[in-house]
Amino acid sequence: MKSLSIVISGGLFLTSLVFGQNAANTSRRIDSSKAVEPQALQVAKQNKSKKGGSKDLSESDTGAQRPILLKTKGISAFFGYDSKYYYQSNPFATTGVLKSEIATGVWRNTFYGGAGLGVYDMDSYVLTPYIGGSWSVVDYLKSDTLLEAQNYNSTSAYALLLAQFGNGWSAKAGVRYGNDRTSENDQEVFKEFYPSIGIMKTDSFSDSLRSSLEVGLGYHNNSVDPLFADDNGKDDSKRNWDISASYSLEKTISVFTITPKYKLTYRDYKNGSNKDRDDLVHELSATANYSVTESLMLKLSYGYTNQDASIDTFDYENYDAGGSLTLNARF
């Protein structure tokens, strides 16, 4: 085992539900339509952000940075466990009365694993393929019959190519599969294939301040609970294209790292009851990390989301705040 790290963190956890014409629509959750960053990239960023994290990068013969936490040949595997507890102000993502009545805590436990399949020098850039997957158990903690019926298990898998250039730019392309099933009766309520591409740029202004700009494009090819299906036994109304842009700063002050971030997402729907619908989503978050040791981190954060939809019933605001305990190992 090369390393073992424990991270205590809290973050922007946007696991809201979409509230439709009746309570049964809560089986269609906002988190299912949001792009989720693969754990492989999260692990790489955690190690790069640690004090002395520059040791996780080396230069190829062309000047492109490559992650030396991965083997240059063969497979570099990682796995972990993540337990998150967070408060959600608007779990049904609605403007109705339910918004204030069922604000709740959420407990999410995730087991995940993955591998980097080598590091390849491609002259002008370094290419790293990743594969991975996860399984999560999500429980709503408020004693409410409607919420308790929405507890679910989520499975995901992904394949990803990451290209890193010597000038701070990176590019990624991949596909993710996700599947959600109710905890109570193991009924599938959501599944999705999400192919996506993206570019990223990082800049270091000093040893203690850096920025990150990211732009991405993806397609949510999904289907939801058969309860809302058409005559063909499926509901494709949630399928949409999304394009997003985000900008963040990372400032180190003594033993603390402060990271404010803003993200803007545009979604375009083409099918079923959502035909001609489009959404504009604003997400603002801030985190404060304290590195207790090389392997132990305390993280606090708070997030705000505002969705402005062309169909007014899909407008919503949501606040999230919470914490988590993560155990991660690499081989």
pLDDT digits (tens, 9 = 90+) for 164-173: 998 889 999 9
Regarding predicted confidence, which is higher, 282 or 80?
282
Work out the end-to-end distance of the chain between its first and last CA atoms, rounded to an integer number of angstroms: 5
Query: According to the model, what pLDDT value does residue 63 have?
Result: 45
Q: What percent of the chain has pLDDT over 70?
A: 73
Q: Which residue, chain included where needed, has tokens 């705000």?
A: 304
pLDDT, mean of residues 80-89 = 88
Average pLDDT, the chain: 78
Asked if 180 and 153 touch (Cβ cutoff 8 Å), the reply is: yes
d(CA 85, CA 109): 9
d(CA 83, CA 86): 10
Query: According to the model, what pLDDT value does residue 218 have?
Result: 96
Q: What is the CA radius of gyration of the chain?
A: 20
Query: According to the model, what pLDDT value does residue 84 have?
Result: 87
Query: According to the model, what pLDDT value does residue 249 have?
Result: 96
Query: According to the model, what pLDDT value does residue 232 have?
Result: 53
Asked if 135 and 155 touch (Cβ cutoff 8 Å), the reply is: yes
**pLDDT above 70: residue 317:** yes
33: nearest Cα among 183, 236, 317? 236
pLDDT, mean of residues 282-295 = 85
**pLDDT above 70: residue 293:** yes
Q: For 12-66, how does the pLDDT look when each residue is reduced to its tens digit (9 = 90+)? A: 332 333 323 333 333 334 455 556 677 777 665 655 554 444 434 444 444 444 4
Asked if 247 and 215 touch (Cβ cutoff 8 Å), the reply is: no
Neighbours of 235 (CB within 10 A): 21
Query: According to the model, what pLDDT value does residue 226 have?
Result: 57
Torsion of CA 232, 238, 241, 245, to 10 degrees: -160
Domain residue spans of the chain: 3-330
CATH (one of 2.40.128.20, 2.40.160.40, 3.40.50.410, 3.40.50.300) for 3-330: 2.40.160.40
Asked if 262 and 247 touch (Cβ cutoff 8 Å), the reply is: yes
Query: According to the model, what pLDDT value does residue 97 have?
Result: 58
Instruction: Kindly give the pairing relationship between strand 3-9 and strand 316-330.
Output: antiparallel
The H-or-E segment that residue 146 falls in is helix 145-148
pLDDT, mean of residues 206-213 = 94
**pLDDT above 50: residue 248:** yes
- The single-letter code of the amino acid at 172 is K
Torsion of CA 297, 32, 176, 233, to 10 degrees: 160
pLDDT band at 244 (very low <50, low <70, confident <90, very high): very high
Share of the chain residues as helix, strand and coil, in percent rounded to the nearest 5: 10, 60, 30
Beta strand spans in 30-144 (E):
57-59, 65-67, 76-88, 104-116, 120-121, 125-140
Neighbours of 257 (CB within 10 A): 20
d(CA 325, CA 327): 7
Q: For 190-199, how does the pLDDT look when each residue is reduced to its tens digit (9 = 90+)? A: 889 999 999 9
- The single-letter code of the amino acid at 151 is N
Query: According to the model, what pLDDT value does residue 93 have?
Result: 79
Q: For 95-148, how does the pLDDT look when each residue is reduced to its tens digit (9 = 90+)? A: 765 566 778 899 999 999 999 998 898 888 999 999 999 999 999 988 777 787
d(CA 313, CA 270): 17
From residue 140, alpha-carbon distances to 103, 104, 247 in Å are 10, 7, 31
